[in-house]
Amino acid sequence: MEECFVINPVNPHYLDRIVHVAQTQGVEASEDIYSASGIKLISKGTRISADVRDRLIVHKLKKPLEHCIRVQNGTDIQQLYEDARALFEESSKLRPLFEHASILSVVREISLRAATLGLLDVAAGQDKHGLQHYLLVMLIGLAIAHRMKCGAEIMRTVAMAGLLHDIGELYLERRYLEEGDSELGDSDWRKIAAHPLIGQKLACDVCGMPQSVGVAILEHHERASGGGYPRGLTSGQLSLPGQIVSIAEMLAALTERHDRPLVRLALAIKLVPGEYSGELLAALSTGLAQHDAEIGADIPAALTGMMLSTLFGQVEAVNALIEACQRSPALDSSDTKEMLQRVKRRFLHIQQALLSTGVGMYCSADGDCSIGLNGAPADLLYEVDVILHEIRWQMRALSRDLQMRAALVSPGIAQAFRALIEALDAA
């Protein structure tokens, strides 16, 4: 069991976040805090500080810390509802999807324990946009569930799982979430990939959520194709709320980072089919078809062409490394052969997706794509930009998958796959 799963004794990374929040917003003990052996460690009303942290970190507690602290002037259900309503009304990028204000009634009706509100306060204290992301995933998930005509129980499950989907990240070391991909090693990525598992445990054990909510949180990074994490499940193994929260999280990320998120999602779905179930996509299709046709910021043709040339070169390099891995005596076991076949299947799927777009027609025989895109219309450059981002994301996701799977076998196997992992990650 990973260190970051532990709730009792106190998780050090969560406690560090509490101390950070306490520097700008008061955090205090909501009741007397006792060690597992019955020693009183902190009196009710004591402000949490670095000194208090040092006292708590060395003990197992009689009761989980999450139940014993309170953020002063913290959020409540009414405030969450008001924030959700404001986000719903202000999200112009998602207007075709946010067509039914009735989903807000689900937000008003959800019930949250004080410990759950405390977790959300800590999340908000780390990043002013953190809680907004949670709320956005919840709202997008509810909008999708409404389109699918889901019943009240599934709507509530989607709302609570969307709101808490990334709560497990509070129990990870901060650097895992702040450093770039290239700075993280095998063990780091295994810890990051564990955050859905941590979130499931928190939702059920601390927040008192139904099992269905925990399952949806566990599945929010899974994909119907089997290319997600932490368990690599496929379509028939995933719950409906889990699938809804998964695509809601993806769309929320697109909304926060890009213009025209519905356009990008529609293109990404066409580019690499099989990531989400047909039932889910059918429910989204109307909203995706109603996206704003206006082009956003200009996409530079020369840079886009150079990036396309680089991508085709990286694809060739990965293919060569896959062939080299097949010939390697170090990768001749049944486990490694199965792992390599998984990589081949997924990478072939990625290549087929890239070739199916026809962008190769803009490249010369020597692989130079910069000239072919000169003078291209804005909508074509925009589409090529989306293709580049999606294919590169798919390659990096495959790199992470191989990295974690290889490390679970042995350090030697991880090292044998190192060149292939780095080539995929370089995309």
pLDDT in tens, 16-70: 999 999 988 889 999 999 999 999 999 999 999 998 998 898 888 999 899 999 9
Do 96 and 213 reside in the same domain of the chain?
A: yes
Residue 48 belongs to what domain range?
3-71
Q: Mind listing the pLDDT tens digit for each residue in 204-247?
A: 999 999 999 999 999 999 988 888 888 888 888 999 999 999 99
pLDDT score recorded for residue 371 = 80
pLDDT score recorded for residue 290 = 54
Do 169 and 252 reside in the same domain of the chain?
A: yes
**Confidence tier at 293 by pLDDT (50, 70, 90):** very low
**Confidence tier at 128 by pLDDT (50, 70, 90):** low
**Confidence tier at 180 by pLDDT (50, 70, 90):** low
Do 256 and 179 reside in the same domain of the chain?
A: yes
Q: b/e per residue, 111-143, with b = 16+ CB within 10 A?
A: ebeebbbbbbbbbbbbeeebbbbbbbbbbbbbb
pLDDT at 107 over 50: yes
pLDDT at 292 over 70: no
pLDDT at 181 over 60: no
- Tokens 């700075």 — which residue? 183
Do 122 and 248 reside in the same domain of the chain?
A: yes
Query: Which of 45, 71, 97 marks a domain boundary?
Result: 71
CA-to-CA distance for 216 and 199, rounded, in angstroms? 10
Strands 69-71 and 27-29: antiparallel
Do 267 and 183 reside in the same domain of the chain?
A: yes
pLDDT score recorded for residue 287 = 63
Has residue 296 been placed in a domain? no
CA-to-CA distance for 18 and 23, rounded, in angstroms? 9
Helix, strand, coil shares, percent, the chain, to 5: 65, 5, 30
Tell me the two tokens of residue 41.
């460690």
Q: Which helix (H) or strand (E) holds 70?
A: strand 69-71
With 0-12 / 13-18 / 19 or more C-beta atoms within 10 angstroms meaning exposed / middle / buried, residue 234 is middle
Q: What is the pTM of this model?
A: 0.87
Tell me the two tokens of residue 164.
């808490």
Residues 6+ apart with CB under 8 A from 76: 117
Q: Are 75 and 120 in contact (CB under 8 A)?
A: yes
Q: Mind listing the pLDDT tens digit for each residue in 63-93?
A: 989 999 999 888 899 999 999 999 999 988 8
State how many domains the chain has: 3
Radius of gyration of the chain (CA): 23
